[in-house]
Structure 1
């Protein structure tokens, strides 16, 4: 077995990988629906030109890009790539004088001698490429980060310069990350699994799916630097998140002196939207001040058709519901802070960030009710308005002290966050006979007034101690204290005499949670092997108090979460990794809240205070070639998996949404991520994920659930360098049928397009982009299990044309400190209500 892993056996395995890669890339290129045609007038093509390209040691240069150039003006005639043996060939080439140019990352561009092609085949002398580092003294080299890059423990999507990200919100940018999907209710999945922990600048957001979506929608995508996908986090991170962590890194100016950038943009789909942001940085001496402000107005539409049947002892009733959601958001986000070097080894700083936003929804809801979908007995018309305000602020104090010059350091973070969300929703239902105009009862007016507050306090300390050159110890502790206060002031008017308190729904729910955690990581570097072993312990104490009914749910539990990472180098370009981690997901604060929120008498949602945490054991085997091609296999088992589910109350003929603990979820996934180069002017990235999710539950609605399905999705990004320094970008996405719990999610697909160009010595950048160019993206879901029989068809405002202008000003030379904070892991579970 050991012999099979030696370098001399790798070429055969690698050749196989190349064939698979080339096949997938060709499929991706076809699906991209973008094939620029470049016409070149050729004389009679009568010859073949071939050769090989080698590195400085005389070994083949796989994947080197070869260009056939006209000798007279160096214009490109044709391009190709070297194969596994460094060989290349150009067929059907007209007679003339040519040269060959070879390029690849990390090496100097290399040219062949001039040669003449005629009637006979030409073999060009082998090209020898030299590392770029040998010319650093005389040549200025500018390297752009790839869109997607693999690091030791995470996949990073560098969106800072992405064209398609232009003018999008942070949520829309996140949807374009490899392996990430967002469903109709804005729940985020990674590699086909829900339960993702979302962090911003290494800080937990503590937000629910609803409030997190609101925050990400009100965050300008142009403020994002990168998105990190961590499927198996180390013990240093909080143990939350059964499918891993998504860390959104925001931009921060990194230069000395005074500098900044100003961005303004506008977009139009079905409605107009606009955004603008300002980033400033001042670094003088030991001080660094930084700040950013972004604002915008977004109006979007969402159309949904919900068809469902309810069967009880009186027969079957058919509901055909049409809902038009119109959401308007005005957002203001800010972030500012300062760092001060008290000495060469110590830096202290603070960060203040906040969100000051308002939302207003106007929704139309018409439900046709009858003994069949074609026969209507009655109609309910429920227009509604929802007025919301978000006032969030977060404070961070931090100190990092380098104890010595060998890497020993200690850092401390103290965080305080407060979220305030006030929501006022009014639902006015008219009851008509089949003609849609004759009332058969008085209108029903329901009001939900729900002020909510969430307060978060965290303290975190991390210590790093290199024991020697190959052995490192990390220790840390964290304490978090969270309190949520939700007050549902429910009112009702069923007689037309005015709103009165609805005692059956009015409730006050307070939830307290304290988590004490400690961890260690021990990492060891061998000659070709690296090992990291970690253990995290978390003690959780929680209390949910439904004050109105004096219903209290208390829990106290201690858990241990081991992690193991092994990385083995198989030659210079091949790496194999094995990862294991145990993780926990605690229910979001809203999901624990037992409030009942009515849309109408047949449609409502309800929390579940008895939800238990879910636990996941996750394994990952990954292979990396040349730090670029990544192939991984993942398996995870989740017990007590809590799942959003739509159930039917047959007695009331009502459909309601809640969360339940199912017995288990088993997930398998195969993931491929690779860059590709067709020609120097056409590069890109491909992500493919095939996965199988199975769900099991005993006695769910009187039956045993055992469902699963093999599914896949892929994303491709194509980057083009066009004439006049214009850059173009195309992003394609496809997801097959997916089974999740009792739901079957229909296929989804879309294509995005963008262009950009810089002016004024690259200080001004103009970007144009269109998302979902062909208006194809939809969310269609069906469920048929026991008493549940429904069909949801939803179309969001996904095709939006945008223009963004960014102007950079000031000094742009010396790098400054980039700080993160310590409260990121708690904010992910806060929820708000529409």
Structure 2
């Protein structure tokens, strides 16, 4: 291939040299580069030949790298006539041979560079003159305006993933990652920011192929820390190969952020102000030669109000206990993320990258609750309770990665990462007097958590021939989770003391994972591609709980090993249509929210507690897909099934036989089955107007155990059809204007013990780029016709019924502004990097559909 490119360029160069080369000093030469007159080149047809030679190499003066295929022309100094010429090779090297003695000039030129003239070259008989490295400077030319009408597709399909090009989303500025993920095919984002892939929240989310402990506490909250305008692409991988960690039964979402690889110093400013949220981000980069730095900071504040009601009944001891509760909630959030990155090209075949990312989350919710308690339809009491919830965290991720390239696609990498998340989940509650609303009692729940990971990983890839690839690697993760919690009480005034009815406690949870994988890819001449692999993982767990004043108690969770196979087959037809079939097995470990044994009574009628004895769940995934282009339309259709055993399911059961409270926890008691299809299409109506949309349909079946009327366990089953869909259009107008419209709906979702109602949302945005393309200003509105939306959840069992309604006031408008400062030049050479990618934990959710999240892995 390299010889073919060299020959092709040599032919082009010979043609252009014979027609457009200009004698040095002639009108229209280097001194008049902005003009393109017709030039007649006078060649000496009878050039005297000798046995001397001139050689050298052409280098970029700023990057100190070779300029491939540069033009080198030899002129007679006396007559200013071109005598000979040659093209440099792919290393920038050239040789002019058979030169007679005399005085000459050399002109070195290449597109995008200023011509270099070497004016005094004296050649003696038989001399071999080596000019060494000849450095030429990049040129900056004033070009006339060019109108580009072709656009990069919003959606692209690659061999093993679907790619959403978020950088083309003109309405993304001012939001966060959850705003972007709402528009990605196959993904669903609910009103709380929880993300599902084909109906499953058991996914792993990676950031630039790397994990982060910010995902360990809550994916929804973690996504709020990532600015939307810094996201380049979102990759959806539904059938990961053995190279990826086995966690994430639903698949992988990889968020790729924008990276500035330009030479020089740049600074980007992005801001937005709205009635629901405001943001400000500053991102700078500096690159010189082999070294590059990136420094960024992002902050986002949001404010919202929600109104909710809760109606539930429990049936215990031949009595009916009923709760009617109304709540006014005020949410305020302040999220930030700060990062520093460094990369260094040790040599042409070796590179080193390092980075540190610090994230903060300050989420508060002030709730005013009024609760009416009934026993057998008689009002027993009315409670007034004001609760301040504080969900605070800070996260540090530090990575150091090394990559060694032997030849194209033959690479060896070592990746390391340290990640730590400090999470505080507290609440303060004031119990008020019925009549005059004076404080009669105060409560506090203090819960501090730490999730820490150390990861070591090595990967090696090697192409075998032209159509085969072998990938092998090993990885180990040392993870520790701790949770310390306590309850305190006080009167209307005075100091807090420990609550004797709720003992303080702690959880120490250590998990070590060792893994190795082997993957083989083979592509046939008739465009079949087969990728088969297996991954072996061994997990060792040590866990114990302790209550104040008691000895610690070990939690017996046996070590387990899993062999995880994967198979991907694709076939490309003559018309560009691609057929795919895939199978893989995935493992899902429980996450911090599901393990945390803190007894959370922020709402005394709806209590939550984790289960540190949870074991992992296993899922088998099958997929068939077809993608094709029909004129200007891209169409993707897939059929899939997901079979999960030992499923981690959310379970609700009665707790208090006096007040009628219920408790929500998690158990390995269920099985889940899902069968469905997703259809997605993109139509380019014109080169500047596109419309895309899709629909997801799947039938789910859930089975588990719950308590019956006689105290024994009974089997609970639920099933139903789940639907969701999206539609988006985007138009690029002249003079930098752009318009985008988006809409989304989700039907009711089936849960193990009930259903959750659907919802819909829509937005419209307009953006104007500045004339110099260095900035833009935009206006976007969301749900601007409706004042809010209502989300209804219903849960039932033989012992209770529960109905909750939440009205979210999410009508919003925002103004965005962005500007780029700094001088940029040619791209500096960047090495590919390999990095740690963990995702093996599942977090709690309120879907009842085995919800969760992962901490990514590779």
Equivalent-residue separation in structure 2 for 1:438 and 1:447 (angstroms) = 19
Match of 1:794 in 2: 806
Q: Please give the per-residue CA displacement for 1:394-439, whole angstroms capped at 9, x wherever unaligned.
A: 1100111101x2421101111111211234421122363xxx5599
Mapped pair 1:513 → 2:519:
no
- TM superposition shift of 1:487: 0.8
- TM superposition shift of 1:356: 3.2
| Candidates 225, 232, 238, aligned match of 2:239 | 232
Match of 2:536 in 1: 537
Equivalent-residue separation in structure 2 for 1:151 and 1:355 (angstroms) = 32
- TM superposition shift of 1:611: 1.5
Q: Is the 8 A contact 1:393 1:418 kept in 2?
A: yes
- TM superposition shift of 1:321: 1.3
Q: Is the 8 A contact 1:321 1:367 kept in 2?
A: yes
Match of 1:606 in 2: 609
Q: Please give the per-residue CA displacement for 1:101-142, whole angstroms capped at 9, x wherever unaligned.
A: xxxxxxxxxxxxxxxxxxxxxxxxxxxxxxxxxxxxx99967
Larger Rg: 2
C-alpha change, 1:344 and 1:819, in structure 2 (3 Å) is: closer
| Candidates 675, 693, 700, aligned match of 2:700 | 693
Match of 1:163 in 2: 170
| Candidates 472, 483, 508, aligned match of 1:475 | 472
Q: Which runs of 5+ in 1 are unaligned?
A: 1-137
Equivalent-residue separation in structure 1 for 2:467 and 2:637 (angstroms) = 27
Mapped pair 1:637 → 2:668:
no
Matching of residues 535-684 of structure 1 within 5 Å: 535-548=534-547, 550-553=552-555, 554-626=557-629, 628-649=634-655, 651-652=657-658, 653-679=660-686, 682-684=689-691
Mapped pair 1:301 → 2:300:
no
Equivalent-residue separation in structure 2 for 1:342 and 1:649 (angstroms) = 62
- TM superposition shift of 1:282: 1.7
Mapped pair 1:492 → 2:489:
yes
Equivalent-residue separation in structure 2 for 1:384 and 1:406 (angstroms) = 60
Equivalent-residue separation in structure 2 for 1:522 and 1:605 (angstroms) = 45
Classify the secondary structure of the residue corresponding to 2:219: helix
C-alpha change, 1:818 and 1:147, in structure 2 (3 Å) is: farther
Matching of residues 437-448 of structure 1 within 5 Å: 443-448=440-445
Q: Which runs of 5+ in 2 are unaligned?
A: 1-144, 847-858
C-alpha change, 1:820 and 1:712, in structure 2 (3 Å) is: farther
Equivalent-residue separation in structure 2 for 1:414 and 1:169 (angstroms) = 28
Match of 2:459 in 1: 462
- TM superposition shift of 1:200: 1.3
- TM superposition shift of 1:279: 1.6
Classify the secondary structure of the residue corresponding to 1:355: strand
- TM superposition shift of 1:361: 2.8
Match of 1:761 in 2: 772
Match of 2:416 in 1: 414
| Candidates 314, 333, 358, aligned match of 1:329 | 333
Structure 2 length-normalised TM:
0.76
| Candidates 837, 851, 854, aligned match of 1:824 | 837
Q: Please give the per-residue CA displacement for 1:440-467, whole angstroms capped at 9, x wherever unaligned.
A: xx94422111222222100111100001
Match of 2:90 in 1: none
Q: Is the 8 A contact 2:247 2:839 kept in 1?
A: no
Match of 2:742 in 1: 731
Equivalent-residue separation in structure 2 for 1:790 and 1:285 (angstroms) = 64
Q: Is the 8 A contact 2:706 2:797 kept in 1?
A: no
- TM superposition shift of 1:515: 0.3
- TM superposition shift of 1:597: 1.0
Q: Is the 8 A contact 1:163 1:768 kept in 2?
A: no
Q: Is the 8 A contact 1:367 1:380 kept in 2?
A: yes
Classify the secondary structure of the residue corresponding to 1:160: helix
Q: Please give the per-residue CA displacement for 1:702-761, whole angstroms capped at 9, x wherever unaligned.
A: 432221111211101111234654211111111222212112121211111111110132
Equivalent-residue separation in structure 1 for 2:739 and 2:780 (angstroms) = 9
Match of 1:99 in 2: none
- TM superposition shift of 1:334: 0.9
Match of 1:63 in 2: none
Structure 1 length-normalised TM:
0.78
Equivalent-residue separation in structure 2 for 1:346 and 1:205 (angstroms) = 26
Q: Is the 8 A contact 2:189 2:195 kept in 1?
A: yes
| Candidates 277, 280, 283, aligned match of 2:287 | 283
Q: Is the 8 A contact 1:253 1:816 kept in 2?
A: no
Classify the secondary structure of the residue corresponding to 2:220: helix
- TM superposition shift of 1:324: 2.4
Equivalent-residue separation in structure 2 for 1:790 and 1:695 (angstroms) = 19
- TM superposition shift of 1:598: 0.9
Mapped pair 1:747 → 2:758:
yes
- TM superposition shift of 1:391: 2.2
C-alpha change, 1:188 and 1:832, in structure 2 (3 Å) is: closer
Q: Is the 8 A contact 1:282 1:289 kept in 2?
A: yes
- TM superposition shift of 1:827: 7.9
- TM superposition shift of 1:533: 0.4
Equivalent-residue separation in structure 2 for 1:184 and 1:498 (angstroms) = 39
Equivalent-residue separation in structure 2 for 1:378 and 1:708 (angstroms) = 38
- TM superposition shift of 1:696: 1.2
Count of equivalent residues:
686
